[in-house]
Chains A and B, each alone.
Chain A
Amino acid sequence: MSFLTLTSKQTPAAAIDWRGIEPGRLQGLTLTEVQRLEVPVDGGVCQLGECMRIRDGQRDGLILEGDFSACRNIGGKLQGGQLIVRGHAGDQLAADMRAGRIVVEGSAGRSAAAELRGGEVIVHGNVGEYAAGAAPGARQGMRGGVLVIHGDCQAWLAARMRRGTVVVHGSVAEGCAARMIAGTLVLCGPVRGPLASGIRRGTILCLDPRTTRSDAWPPAGFTAPVTDELSFLPLLASSFADHLPNWVVYPGERRALRSLGDRADGGFGELIWFDYTTGHAVAPGMSS
C-alpha cells in the first residue's frame, strides 16, 4: 500500500501554506478528517478536500502530486516519516523540520531548508535563493540535518548557516556561504563568487576542478593554500559520501589543499579541495 496521496485539482496548485501538514499529524485521522483539514489558501482558509484529490494510504508517509511551486512551507514542522513531492515545491521547504525525509522530484523555491533542524531533504531539481541560508532579517540559516540539491542553486546558499550538511551537485550562484557560522558544505559543481565572504567557521569542500583551478581561487580573504594531512576527512566524508553524484569520484584521501578565512573578519572557516591533476572524474562535459 502506498502513502496517503494528495493530488492537486488545479495546475499549479493554489497557494496553500502546508506548515504542519505532515505524516505525524495525519497519523490518527480518518480519510474524512483528512479531507476536512483546514489549510490557509490565498489569504483565506479552505478544506484540504476542496483543493486536493485524496487517495488513502499508509500514514507514515505523504505524497503530494502536482505543481506546488506557489505553495509555502511544504514539510514544515515535519517530525518524522516521509514526504514525497511529485512536482515542484514552493518557498520555505522544510521550515522548522526536525526529523524525517523529504524528497522533491522537481525544483524548490526560495529558502529551501533555511530553517531545517534535522532530517534529510533531497531536491532533484534546482533551488531558489537562500537555500539553507538565513532569509533577510533572520539571524541563522539551517541548524541541522542534511540538504542535498541535485540541480543548481541560486544566490545566498548557506548564508549564515549554523549547522548541518549541504551537498550541491549543480552550480552555485553568488553569495554562497556568506557569513556562514558553521556546518559543512559540499560543492560538486562550479561556483560563482563571491564565495564564503565573511565566513566565521565551517567547512566548504569544493570538488569542482573548474572552480579550484581558476585564477580567482581561493577567494579573497582566504589564506594561501597549504597541503594538509587531515585525518578527519574520511570521517567527514562518511556524512555525505552517499549523497555525491555518481560522476564525482571522491578521492578518499587525507591530504588535501586547505585555505582558511575569511581573515578579513577574523574568520576561521575552511575551504578544502583536492589536487585533481591525476585525472579524477569530474562533472559531465568537462575533461579532467
Chain B
Amino acid sequence: MQINGVDIADTFAEAFPMTATRLIITAADRFWALRAAESMTGFATSVIGCGCEAGIEREIPPEETPDGRPGIAVLVFAVSGSALEKQVVRRVGQCVLTCPSTSIFAGMESGKKIALGSHLRYFGDGFQISKMISGRRYWRVPVMDGEFVCEESTCRVAAVGGGNFLVLSETLAGALKACESAMHAMQQLPRVIMPFPGGVARSGSKVGSKYKSLAASTNDAFCPTLRSVTNSLLPPDVGAALEVVIDGLTEQDVAKAMRVGIHAACDAGVRYGLRAITGGNYGGKLGPFHFHLHELLA
C-alpha cells in the first residue's frame, strides 16, 4: 500500500488501556489560560517517568466556558484512577492554582469521580467558600489576586494510550517536516492529545532491556546508527525515524487521529524524502488495542 508514493507497512500499531479526564482552565485572558495549561501539562510525556500523559486538547471561546472567560481544555491520562487523581491534584495545585487569574472546571460530566477542589480547598485555610450551582459544587479559595475557583471533582473515563505511527524518512529534516505536518492536522481534532514534545518522540522504545531494572529500552531496530549491528527494520535509504504518539478518549478517536496524521505526513513528506510509514508493533505484548495501518487507511 502506498499514499503519495510513500510505503505504508502492513503492520499494526499497539496501544494500551488508560483512564483519562478533561479539565477546563479559564483565566482573565487567553495568555494566562494558556500559560497555566502549558505548565500543567508539562513533563507529562509518558506514564513511565511522569506519572501521567497530558496535553492541550483545544482552546475554548469565552461563550463556551463555565465562567465566560477564555479557556483551554486539557486531557490527562494515567494508568489508574488513583494515579490520575494524584497527578491531577498535584498539577492543578502547583500549576493552575499558582497561575494568576485562573479557575478550573471539570470537563467531563459522566464517569467515575476523582477529586479536584475537594483536596485543593484546604489551601484556603478555612477561608474557602463552597457553592452548589445546578447540582455541582465549586470551591472559592482566596488567593492574592482574588479567588481561585475550582470545581469539587471531575470525572474520568476509560481511554486509550500509546496509539502511534512511525515516520521513516531519508533525512532527519524530512522526517521533521512530515511530523510537523501530521501534528498540525491532528491538533485540530478533539478528544486526542499528542503528549511528547511537538507530539513526536525520537526515542521510540522496545519492551524490555538487557538491563534487568529497565522495562523498556531504545528501539534498536529503528536506530539508523545501529543498522549494521542489529536486526534493523529500516529500509536502506532511510536515515531517520520519528514516532508520533497519540492518546485518545476512545479507540475510534485514536484511529481517526492516526488516519488524519498519516495522510498529512504523506501529503507533505513526500517532497522531503518521506519513504515509509509503519507502526509500533511489539508483537502484541504492549496492549490489546491494535491499529492495523492498511485497514485504517483503506
- Residues of A at under 8 Å CB distance from B? 144, 163, 182, 184, 201, 203, 228-232, 234-236, 238-239, 268, 270
Known A-B contacts A230-B146, A231-B103; A236 and B69 likewise in contact (beta carbons under 8 Å): no
Residue B156 at the A interface, CB < 8 A?
Answer: no
Q: How far is the CB of A15 from chain B (nearest CB, A)?
A: 36
Known A-B contacts A235-B67, A235-B138; A228 and B146 likewise in contact (beta carbons under 8 Å): yes
Q: Which 8 interchain pairs have the tightest Cβ spacing?
A: A229-B146, A234-B68, A239-B133, A235-B67, A232-B149, A234-B67, A232-B140, A231-B103
Residue B101 at the A interface, CB < 8 A?
Answer: yes
User: Which residue of chain B is the closest to A144 with respect to CB atoms?
Assistant: B132
Query: Using Cβ atoms and an 8 Å threshold, which residues of chain B touch A239?
Result: 133-134
Output the residue of B26, B66, B67, B131 with the most chain A CB within 10 A. B131
Expressed in whole angstroms, the Cα–Cα distance for A162 and B74 within the complex equals: 35
Residue B127 at the A interface, CB < 8 A?
Answer: yes
CB under 8 Å from chain A, chain B span 127-155: 127, 129-134, 138, 140, 145-147, 149
Contact call B146/A235, Cβ cutoff below 8 A: no
Query: Using Cβ atoms and an 8 Å threshold, which residues of chain A touch B101?
Result: 231
Given contacts A163-B132, A231-B149, A232-B103, 13 further A-B pairs with CB under 8 A are A184-B131, A231-B28, A232-B131, A232-B138, A232-B140, A232-B147, A235-B66, A235-B67, A235-B133, A235-B138, A238-B66, A239-B133, A268-B129
Contact call A229/B145, Cβ cutoff below 8 A: yes
User: Which residue of chain B is the closest to A270 with respect to CB atoms?
Assistant: B129
Expressed in whole angstroms, the Cα–Cα distance for A144 and B66 within the complex equals: 21
Known A-B contacts A231-B67, A231-B101, A231-B103; A236 and B131 likewise in contact (beta carbons under 8 Å): yes
Query: Using Cβ atoms and an 8 Å threshold, which residues of chain B touch A231?
Result: 26, 28, 67, 69, 101, 103, 146-147, 149
Expressed in whole angstroms, the Cα–Cα distance for A163 and B136 within the complex equals: 12
Q: How far is the CB of B64 from chain A (nearest CB, A)?
A: 13
Query: Using Cβ atoms and an 8 Å threshold, which residues of chain A touch B127?
Result: 268
Expressed in whole angstroms, the Cα–Cα distance for A178 and B145 within the complex equals: 31
Q: How far is the CB of B103 from chain A (nearest CB, A)?
A: 6
Q: How far is the CB of B48 from chain A (nearest CB, A)?
A: 37
Expressed in whole angstroms, the Cα–Cα distance for A187 and B132 within the complex equals: 19
CB under 8 Å from chain A, chain B span 244-285: none
Expressed in whole angstroms, the Cα–Cα distance for A111 and B68 within the complex equals: 36
User: Which residue of chain A is the closest to B69 with respect to CB atoms?
Assistant: A231
Q: How far is the CB of B157 from chain A (nearest CB, A)?
A: 24
Known A-B contacts A230-B147, A232-B140; A201 and B134 likewise in contact (beta carbons under 8 Å): no
Expressed in whole angstroms, the Cα–Cα distance for A158 and B149 within the complex equals: 26
Query: Using Cβ atoms and an 8 Å threshold, which residues of chain B touch A184?
Result: 131
Expressed in whole angstroms, the Cα–Cα distance for A230 and B67 within the complex equals: 11
Contact call A201/B129, Cβ cutoff below 8 A: yes
Expressed in whole angstroms, the Cα–Cα distance for A154 and B133 within the complex equals: 26
B11-29 interface code vs A (CB 8 A; 1 in, 0 out): 0000000000000001010
User: Which residue of chain A is the closest to B130 with respect to CB atoms?
Assistant: A182
**A-B contacts, 12 listed (Cβ < 8 Å):** A144-B132, A182-B130, A184-B131, A229-B146, A230-B146, A231-B67, A231-B146, A234-B69, A235-B138, A236-B133, A238-B66, A268-B127
